């Protein structure tokens, strides 16, 4: 097998293993401990619902596995925020002074021509909604890149 790291958008809440089995209408296997701490996880980024009470695919994850794999959507590093921007989320820094500012990922697409012989392809970029309700290309500062106060909106 190959090694992977993932970025997913999920809903989750703490739940004991027995409570998850009860939710699904299952009998807890004899070799499992119903008092194990864990999380009910609902995958909202795709996958068909597997129980009528949820819109996404639902599973249970042991606490130690869950907490190594997932972080809350506030207090993120820029790297994690960027990965979440790439899958369609908006992000902002808690430390920004301007009200209502956020970033979004603009995918590649189209071409522009500035009097050149050949049109130039438009590459992906990150745009910012400014405090005065404008939208501009964004350039990260050193502080932005190294801060861990990024939030997904």
Going from N- to C-terminal start, the domains of the chain cover 10-69, 74-152
Assign 8 a pLDDT band (cuts: 50, 70, 90). confident
Dist CA 41 CA 50 (whole Å):
12
> Quick one: average pLDDT of 61-67?
94
Beta bridge partners of 42: 11, 58
Region label for 76, one of left (φ > 0), alpha (ψ between -120 and 50) or beta (otherwise): beta
Report the pLDDT value the prediction gives residue 22, as an integer from 0 to 100: 96
pLDDT band at 92 (very low <50, low <70, confident <90, very high): very high
Asked whether residue 46 carries a pLDDT value surpassing 90, the answer given is: no
What span, in angstroms and rounded, lies between the C-alpha atoms of 54 and 149? 30
Q: Tell me what pLDDT residue 41 has.
A: 95
136 backbone dihedrals φ, ψ, rounded to 5° = -135, 160
What is residue 59's predicted lDDT score, i.e. its pLDDT?
Answer: 94
Burial of 46-60, coded b for 16+ CB within 10 Å and e otherwise, reads eeeeeeeeeebbbbb
Contact between residue 88 and residue 80 where contact means Cβ atoms under 8 Å apart: no
Is residue 101 within 8 Å of residue 74, measured between CB atoms? no
21 vs 46, more confident: 21
| Per-residue pLDDT, 82 | 95
pLDDT at 89: 92
Q: What is the pLDDT averaged over residues 7-34?
A: 94
The answer, yes or no, to whether residue 65 has pLDDT greater than 90, is yes
């Amino acid at each position: 097998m190959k090694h992977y790291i993932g970025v997913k958008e999920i809903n989750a809440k703490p739940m004991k293993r027995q409570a998850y089995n009860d939710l699904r209408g299952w009998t807890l296997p004899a070799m499992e401990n119903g008092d194990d701490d864990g999380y009910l996880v609902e995958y909202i980024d795709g996958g068909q619902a597997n129980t009528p009470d949820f819109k996404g695919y639902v599973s249970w994850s042991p606490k130690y596995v869950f907490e190594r794999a997932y972080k809350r959507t506030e207090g993120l590093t820029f790297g994690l925020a960027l990965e979440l921007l790439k899958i369609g989320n908006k992000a902002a820094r808690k430390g920004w002074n301007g009200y209502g500012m956020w970033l979004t990922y603009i995918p590649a697409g189209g071409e522009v021509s500035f009097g050149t012989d050949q049109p130039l392809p438009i590459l992906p970029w990150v745009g910012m909604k400014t405090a005065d309700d404008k939208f501009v290309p964004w350039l990260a500062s050193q502080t932005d890149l190294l801060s861990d106060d990024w939030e997904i909106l």
